[in-house]
Structure 1
Amino acid sequence: NINIALSNEIIFASKIIILMYDYNEKARKIVRGLLKAMPYNLAIPLMIRDKKEFYNIKLKEVLEYLEGYDLDLKDLIITYIYSYPIYIFKQQYILKLINKNTDYVIDLFHDKKFLKAVSHKSYALSDFLEMLYRKDKAAVTNYSALCYVLHLKNKDVLKCALELIEKDEYNSRPYVESSIHAYREDVQFHLKNIIKRWNYNRKSFKFQTIDDVIQYIDDYYDENYEHIIDFIDKALISDVVLRKDKKTKVPVIVMKYILLEYMLLEEPYRIKDIDKIADLFDMPSFRAALENVYRYWIDNGADENKKNIIIPYCIYADYNQIVNLYDKIEYWHDNFKSSLAAYIIPAIAMNGEKFALMIINHIIYMSKNKKLKNAAIESFKKASECLNIPIDNLFDKVLPNLGFNTERNKIINYGKQSFTLQLLSDSYLEIIDNSNHKIIKELPDAIEGDDEERVKNAKMDLVNIRNSLEAIITYQKEKLKKVMFNGRKWDYETFFEVFVENPVMQYFTLAFIWGVYDEDNNLIECFRYMEDGSLISIDEDLYELPKNIKYYITLYHPIDKDEDYQKIWAYQLELYEINQPVEQIKLKRYFLKEDDIENDAIVCLKNKQLSFEYMEKLSKELDMKVEYFEEHVSYYLLDDVLKIAAEINCSLYDEDIEIDNIKFYKLEDHNRFGVNISPYKISHRFISTLIYYLSIGFYG
Structure 2
Amino acid sequence: MNLEEKLAIYYQGSAIEDDMAKCEATNDFSKIRRNSYDYFHYKEEFLKDYFSIEDEKLKKRYEHFMKILIYGKDKEGEGGTRYVIFDYIVNRDFEKSLRYLVYGYEKRYKEQARTLNGETLIYTVFEDFNKYFSKEFQEYTDKYIDIINNNDNKKILKKMDRDAVIPLIAICSVIKNNKECDEKYINAAIKSFDVLPNLYDTLNVIAAILDKNEAIKNKFIEVLNKNEEYIIDINIILGYHLRSLDYNNPYKAREKFFNAINYPNDFAFIAQHFEDYFHYAFIYGARDLYLNHKEDFYKIYNFVENSLNSDRYNNNRNNDRNKRIFIVLSGVLLEHNDNNLDTNNLKKSITVLETIVNKFTKDNSNRYNPRPTFTTTEKIEEIFDKDKNKLFDTLIDYYTDKKNTYNLYSTYRWGNTLPEYCLSTELYYLFSLFNYDIPEIKNYKKFALDIFKYLPIQLGIRKYIEVQASIGSKTLKEVIDSLLNNKELNITLKEILLSYYFDYAGDLSNYYYDYGGKSLPTLYKELRCVDENNNVIINSVKDELLKSYFDEVVNILNDDKFIKDNIASNKNTALDILRTLYNKCHYNDYHLVYTILENTKRAEVKRHCIKVISDNEAITRPYVEKMSEKARSSELKGALKNIIKNWNLKKYGDYFKSIDEALEFIDTYYNTNYEKNIKFLDDVHLTKVLYNNGTLADERIFKYIIMEYMNLVEPARLKDCDMLAEMLDTTSFTNALEMLYIHWKDSNYEATKKNILIPYLIYSDDLKIDKVYPLIKEFAKGSRTVMAAFIVKCMALNGKNYALILVDGLTRKSPTAKIKEVAIETMENAAYMLDMTADELSDRIIPNFGFSQKGERVLNYGGEARRTFTLSIDNNLELTITDNEKQKVIKSLPAPNSKDDKAEADSAKKECTTLKKEIKTLIQNQKIRLQKVLLNGRKWTYNNFKTVFVENPIMNIFALKLIWGAYDENNNLIQSFRYMEDGTFNTVDEEEYTLPENSLITLVHPSELDADTIEKWKTQLSDYEISQPIEQLNFKYEEIKEEDIKEDKIHSLDSKTIKAGVLMSLATKYDMARGEAMDGGTFCEYILKDTYLNIAVHLSFDYMYFGMDANEDINFGDIEFCEITDGIETLINPLKVNKRFASSIYSIVKSVFGD
The yes-or-no answer on 1:508 pairing with 2:958 is yes
| 1:473 to partner: Cα distance | 0.9
Percentage of pairs with the same residue: 24
CA RMSD of aligned residues (A): 5.3
Partner of 1:429: 879
- Whether the 8 Å contact between 2:870 and 2:883 is mirrored in structure 1 is no
* Structure 1 equivalent of residue 914 of structure 2: 464
1:45 correspondence with 2:462: yes
1:83-162 map, 5 Å: 83-85=503-505, 86-89=521-524, 90=540, 91-96=542-547, 99-102=550-553, 104-111=555-562, 115-116=564-565, 122-130=570-578, 133-137=581-585, 139=587, 141-143=589-591, 146-147=594-595, 150-151=598-599, 153=601, 158=606, 161-162=609-610
Deviates more, 1:415-424 or 1:231-240: 231-240
User: What is the TM-score when the length of structure 1 is the normalising length?
Assistant: 0.75
Q: 1:177 to 1:291 in 2, by over 3 A?
A: same
Which residue number in structure 2 is paired with residue 68 of structure 1? 488
| 1:99 counterpart letter in structure 2 | F
Cα displacement (A) at 1:166: 4.3
Amino acid at match of 1:307: K
**In structure 2, distance between residues paired with 1:553 and 1:40:** 51
Which sits farther off after the overlay, 563-572 or 477-486?
Answer: 563-572
Picking from 931, 941, 955, the partner of 1:481 is 931
Aligned to 1:694: 1149
Q: Distance in 1 between matches of 2:723 and 2:1132?
A: 40
Q: Is the 8 A contact 2:1049 2:1134 kept in 1?
A: no
Q: Is 2:414 the partner of 1:414?
A: no
Cα distance in 2 for residues equivalent to 1:194 and 1:536: 45
Q: Could you give the per-residue CA deviations for residues 586-613 of structure 1, whole angstroms, max 9, x where no partner exists?
A: 32244x4876788998969564846577
Matched residues in 2 for 1:488 and 1:187: separation? Answer: 36
In structure 1, distance between residues paired with 2:491 and 2:963: 66
- TM-score, scaled relative to structure 2: 0.49
Q: Is the 8 A contact 1:133 1:139 kept in 2?
A: yes
**In the alignment, which of 705, 723, 729 is matched to residue 258 of structure 1?**
705
Q: Is the 8 A contact 1:349 1:357 kept in 2?
A: no
Aligned AA for 2:754? Answer: K
Gaps of 5+ in 2: 1-279, 285-408, 410-416, 418-422, 506-520, 525-539, 1105-1113
Question: Does residue 545 in structure 1 map to residue 992 in structure 2?
Answer: yes
Q: 2: CA distance between counterparts of 1:513 and 1:139?
A: 43
Tell me how far 1:41 sits from its aligned partner.
0.4
Counterpart in the other structure of 2:669? 217
- C-alpha change, 1:200 and 1:614, in structure 2 (3 Å) is farther
Quote how far apart the aligned CAs of 1:293 are: 0.9
Larger radius of gyration: 2
- Report the AA paired with residue 423 of structure 1: S
In structure 2, what is the Cα distance between the partners aligned to 1:555 and 1:128?
Answer: 34
SS in structure 2 opposite 1:269? coil
CA distance in 1, matches of 2:471, 2:1043: 40
Say yes or no: does 1:584 pair with 2:1032. yes
Q: 1:100 Cα shift? A: 2.8
Q: Give yes or no for contact 2:597–2:606 (8 Å, CA) kept in 1.
A: yes
Give how far 1:636 is off: 5.6
How far did residue 481 of structure 1 move? 1.5
Amino acid at match of 1:461: E
Higher relative contact order (CA 8 A, sep 6+): 1
CA distance in 1, matches of 2:601, 2:1101: 43
| 1:464 maps to amino acid | T
The 10-residue stretch of structure 1 (73-82 or 367-376) with the greater mean CA deviation from structure 2 = 367-376
Structure 1 segment 324-339 matched on structure 2, within 5 A = 324-330=768-774, 332-333=776-777, 336=780
Q: Is the 8 A contact 1:664 1:679 kept in 2?
A: no
Tell me if the contact between 2:1101 and 2:1118 (Cα under 8 Å) persists in the aligned partners: no
Query: Map of 1:259-338 to 2, 5 A cutoff?
Result: 259-303=706-750, 306-317=753-764, 321-330=765-774, 332-333=776-777, 336=780
**Do the aligned residues in 1 keep the contact of 2:977 with 2:993 (CA within 8 Å)?**
no
Q: Cα offset for 1:472?
A: 1.8
Q: 1:59 aligns with which of 459, 473, 479?
A: 479
In the TM superposition, residue 42 of structure 1 has moved relative to its aligned partner by 1.8
For residues 130-179 of structure 1, give each alpha carbon's deviation from its aligned partner in whole angstroms, at most 9, with x where no partner exists.
Answer: 25643214736141574266345555655555555445444444445445
Q: Which amino acid aligns with 1:694?
A: V
Q: Deviations over 1:310-348 (max 9, x none)?
A: 21122233xxx4322123314544774687566445645
In the alignment, residue 217 of structure 1 is paired with which amino acid? Answer: Y
Q: 1:271 deviation in Å?
A: 0.7
8 Å CA contact 2:715–2:758 kept in 1: the answer is: yes
Q: How many Å separate the matches in 2 of 1:412 and 1:126?
A: 62
Q: Say if 1:395 and 1:164 are closer, same or farther in 2 by CA, change over 3 A.
A: closer
TM-aligned CA deviation for residue 469 of structure 1: 1.0
Do the aligned residues in 2 keep the contact of 1:361 with 1:376 (CA within 8 Å)? no
Q: Which amino acid aligns with 1:104?
A: N
Partner of 2:801: 357
CA contact (8 A) 1:645 1:673 kept: no
CA distance in 1, matches of 2:1102, 2:962: 40
Stretches of structure 1 lacking an aligned partner (at least 5 in a row): none
Counterpart amino acid of 1:465? L
Question: Is 2:677–2:710's contact at 8 Å kept on the other side of the alignment?
Answer: yes
Aligned-pair distance for 1:476?
A: 1.6
Distance of 1:639 and 1:449 partners within structure 2: 54
Distance 1:459 1:12 in 2: 75
AA partner of residue 586 (structure 1): N
Contact 1:241 1:285 in 2 (8 A): yes
Q: CA 1:174/1:26 → structure 2, altered by over 3 Å: closer, same or farther? A: farther
CA shift digits 1:349-384 (9 cap, x unpaired): 5445xxx32453476579962588987787677665
d(CA) in 1 for partners of 2:881 and 2:1128?
A: 49
Q: Hey, what does 2:639 align to over in structure 1? A: 190
Tell me whether 1:369 sits opposite 2:813 in the alignment.
yes
Distance 1:234 1:155 in 2: 35
SS of 1:420 mapped into structure 2: strand
Q: Look up the equivalent residue of 2:522 and give its one-letter code.
A: Y
> In structure 2, what is the equivalent of residue 81 of structure 1?
501
Give the AA of the match of 1:233. Answer: D
Q: What secondary structure is seen at the aligned counterpart in 2 of 1:110?
A: helix
* Residue in 1 that maps onto 2:328: none
The secondary structure found in structure 1 opposite 2:860 is strand
CA distance in 2, matches of 1:277, 1:162: 24
Q: Would the alpha carbon gap of residues 110 and 368 (structure 1) be closer, same or farther in structure 2, given more than 3 Å must change? A: closer
How many residue pairs get matched? Answer: 674
In structure 2, distance between residues paired with 1:21 and 1:227: 77
Whether the aligned pair in 2 keeps the contact of 1:144 and 1:175 (CA below 8 Å) is no
Structure 1 pair 534–203 and aligned structure 2 pair: CA distance change class (3 A): closer
Are the equivalent residues in 2 in contact too, given 1:238–1:289 (CA < 8 A)? Answer: yes
Instruction: Sort the Cα spacing of 1:70 and 1:389 in 2 relative to 1 into closer, same or farther, 3 A.
Output: closer
Q: Deviations over 1:512-559 (max 9, x none)?
A: 2535646475475665867x99999979xxx55234555887656544
* Aligned equivalent of 2:168: none
Indicate the larger mover: 79-88 or 574-583. Answer: 574-583
Q: Quick check: which one's helix share is greater?
A: 2
Please state how far the C-alpha of 1:260 moved relative to its aligned partner.
2.9
Q: 1:462 to 1:291 in 2, by over 3 A?
A: same
Are the structure 2 counterparts of residues 67 and 339 from structure 1 closer, same or farther at C-alpha, using a change threshold of 3 Å? same
Deviates more, 1:139-148 or 1:259-268: 139-148
Q: Structure 2 CA distance, aligned partners of 1:691 and 1:46?
A: 37
The separation in 2 between residues aligned to 1:382 and 1:546, in whole angstroms, is 38
Question: Hey, what's the Cα distance between the residues in 2 that align with 1:264 and 1:486?
Answer: 40
Q: What secondary structure sits across from 1:135 in the alignment?
A: helix
Q: 1:582 deviation in Å?
A: 1.6
Task: Evaluate the alpha carbon distance shift between residue 22 and residue 585 of structure 1 in structure 2; reply closer, same or farther with a 3 A threshold.
Answer: same
- What residue identity is the alignment partner of 2:555? Y
